[in-house]
Structure formats: structure tokens, C-alpha cells
Amino acid sequence: MSQSTSGKIPTKKPQRVQFTPQERKSSMLLALLFSTRMLGLFLLTPIFAVAAQSIVGGNDAMKVGIALGAYGLTQALMQIPLGMASDKFGRRPVIIGGMVLFIIGGVVSALATSVDGIIVGRVLQGLGAISAAITAWVADATRPEVRTRAMAMVGSAIGLSFAVSLVLSPVMVGQFGLSGLFWAISGLGLVCLLIAAFAIPEYPRAEPIIQAKASDVLGHKELLRLNFGVFALHFILMTLFVVVPGVLAQIGGFDSGSLWKVYLPVILVSFAFMIPAVIYTETRKAHKKVLQALVLGLAVVMAFMPLFSSMLWGMVVFLLLFFAVFNTLEALQPSLVSRVAPADYKGLAMGFYNTTQSLGVFGGGLAGGFVASTAGVQWALWMGAGLAVMWWLSTRRFNAQL
């Protein structure tokens, strides 16, 4: 009765658009494809600095750093060209070709008897830079109304694969050795190839209404700041893994097969921090404030970690703090790119974002190895702290709408 007297017509709450069965299946398969490939790349990172000591050149921190980061350089070079090739020739053939290179690189590394041989294998793995092509395939397979959720599904799967690599790689090296780890990585590549070849249907690719140009992204100050952020984050990550496994081996007696005893509790507790932090950021729309706090926290962690590098409990605590910050930033930053980039060139913006991330991987491995071998572990970590301070200063100039 009150409805008729007030004259107001009740409005229905808009229904959330659901995935179609085909969209859900394709999104899950593409998430599996992407995360399995990234697991293959991640598996080497947590243990190589210790495991490499059993082969020629493994005591050279510079070479260890190059081996860890080598795939990042070739990925950065090939990411956008292969993304463009997938537009022209289709997603499937480009991804299959990329996975063939990934598998060959893993076999070369498995057969290598020196760090130099592993560097060659890692370069070959990076040449199969298919991240942009997979992301584009996700876009092909989904409607705009559900695409963000599909991308989040992929991102979550990649984050999970990194967490799994921290625990799984020490166990695998302990059981099968470094060569066995690379054979397993090639096996993961074969799984990805089969998924791409047979499990996921090809979808028609709509022509873009506006042809975006590189200058659109390179001239966008907010996107440049986010690109610098992901470069810094992965530079610091690779620097950390050049030095931390060796430190843990020295102060705690951990070999490459037992490092999981440190990594497992650290990653579990850090994920417990990440989930409420992401929920708080999204519900309060506090992206800029949280970003600044996390980056400042990263700078503090990297600055103080060297002071505790002779104490096992200190290293465990600071690794926990590092991954709590890292995992949250890894989830937050891509979402900021999608918020900041205009609709006309979101895809191109993500291409540049992935490229600068890969450059960070290469730069962190190279510079971390060089500084650790010439000035010492502490200075490598302080280098990461300095880069985090530069990043924090850049976040203070972000658009206030973030």
C-alpha cells in the first residue's frame, strides 16, 4: 500500500552477469596454462643460488644472478612482438611455438654441466614470451562484463604458482637434483603445449575500434609510474633470491632440499596478511594510501634485513614481512593498471607492464649478482632498499583518484 501512496516504483538491484559455461571453462584452462608456465619459470628462483654450487660456475654470484634473470631479458624483448604476431596469426600457433622454445630451453638447462649452459637454456625459455598472447586469448574468450573476473582468475593462479614454487622447488631438488628440476620444468612446458593445442577453442578476434600507439602508453604519467613500480618490485625480488638462499644455508645449515622448511611457513603467513589487505583496499577504495604504505614498508624491510642477516630468526621474520608486502603489491598493481589505463589501450598498457616486469627480473638478477659478488650481500639488499625508496617517492605523485 505504501508503494501506491508514495508513487515510487521499486527498482531491482542489477543482477551480476555470470560466466557462461564455455567462458568459465576457457578462463580456467587459460589460467591453468598461464600459471603452469609461470610455475616452470618460478621453480628455479628459490633454490638456484644454493643448488648451483654443485656445478661449474655456481660459486660466482654474478653468473648465478644472470642465470636467474636471463629469461627476463628475452621475455622483455619478445613480449610485444609475439603479442602482435598472435593478433595476425592466431593465439594458438604463437603459444604453441613459444612453449616449444620453453621446452627446448628446459632440456638445454637439464643437460648443462655449468652455469653458462643454464644461462643459454634460460635465454631460450624467455624467447617463448607468450604472456601477452595468453592475456589476449582470455579477452577473446570472454564478454566485457566478466572479463575482469577472468583476468583476476588468471592473476590469482599465477600468484598461487609462485607460492607453490617456493615450497616445491627445494623438495624437488632434494629428491632429483638440479637436472631433475629442469626435466620437470620441461614436462610442465609439455603440459602447457597440450592444453594450448587441444583443450582451448580459438575465438574470433574483434578488430579494435581505435588503434592504440606506443606513445599513448609512454606518454601516460600514471602508467609510467606503475611500470616503474613493477620493474622495482621484481628487481628487488630477484636480488633477494640471488643472496638469501646462500645466507640461509650459511646461518641455518639449510641445503637446497631443506629450504622449504623456511619458505612454507613464511608463504602461508604472508598470504594470511595479503587477503585482508586486498579486501580493505577494495572496500575502502584506498588504493593510493595502501600502495604508498606497502612500498614504504618494502623499503624499510630491505633496509633492515642486512642488519639481521647473521641471525636465523631475524631472516625468517624479515622474509615473512617481505612476502606479506610483495604478495599484496603483486595483486594490487595489475588492478591499478586496469583502473588507470583508458579503455582504448588497456591491452597495450598491460603489454608494456609485462615487459617492464620482465626487465626488472633481468635487472635484479644481473645487478644483484654483481653487487653481491663485488661489495657483499648487505649492499645488494641495500640496493633494493634504495630502489624501493625511489618507488615510494614516485607513488606520492600519483593521481589522487587512485
Is residue 6 domain-resident? Answer: no
Q: Say if CB 108 and CB 117 are below 8 A apart.
A: yes
Q: Is 288 inside any structural domain?
A: yes
Dist CA 248 CA 255 (whole Å): 8
Q: What is the pLDDT of residues 100-115, one digit of tens each?
A: 999 999 999 999 999 9
Confidence label for 268 from pLDDT (cuts 50, 70 and 90): confident
Mean pLDDT, to the nearest integer, of 212-224?
Answer: 78
Closest to 245 measured CA to CA, from 300, 191, 296, 309: 309
Residue 231 clears pLDDT 80, i.e. is over it: yes
What is the C-alpha separation between 385 and 402, in angstroms, rounded? Answer: 24
Domain for residue 86, yes or no? yes
Number of domains observed in the structure of the chain? 1
What interhelical angle do 131-141 and 61-89 show, nearest 10? 40
Domain for residue 196, yes or no? yes
User: What does the block give as the cell for 222?
Assistant: 600514471
> Rounded to an integer, what distance in angstroms lies between the CA atom of residue 365 and that of residue 242?
7
In a domain, 12, yes or no: no
Q: Which domain holds residue 180?
A: 22-203+213-395
CA distance 19 to 147: 9
CATH code for position 305: 1.20.1250.20
In which element (H, E) is residue 372 found?
A: helix 346-374
Average pLDDT over residues 329-345: 75
Has residue 191 been placed in a domain? Answer: yes
Summarize the confidence of residues 355-378 as an average pLDDT. Answer: 93
Residue with grid cell 612446458, as numbered in its chain: 189
What does the pLDDT look like over 113-151, one tens digit per residue?
A: 999 999 999 999 999 999 888 888 888 888 877 776 777
% of the chain residues with pLDDT over 70: 91
Alpha-helical (H) ranges within 112-207 are 115-127, 131-141, 144-194
What confidence score (pLDDT) does residue 321 get? 95
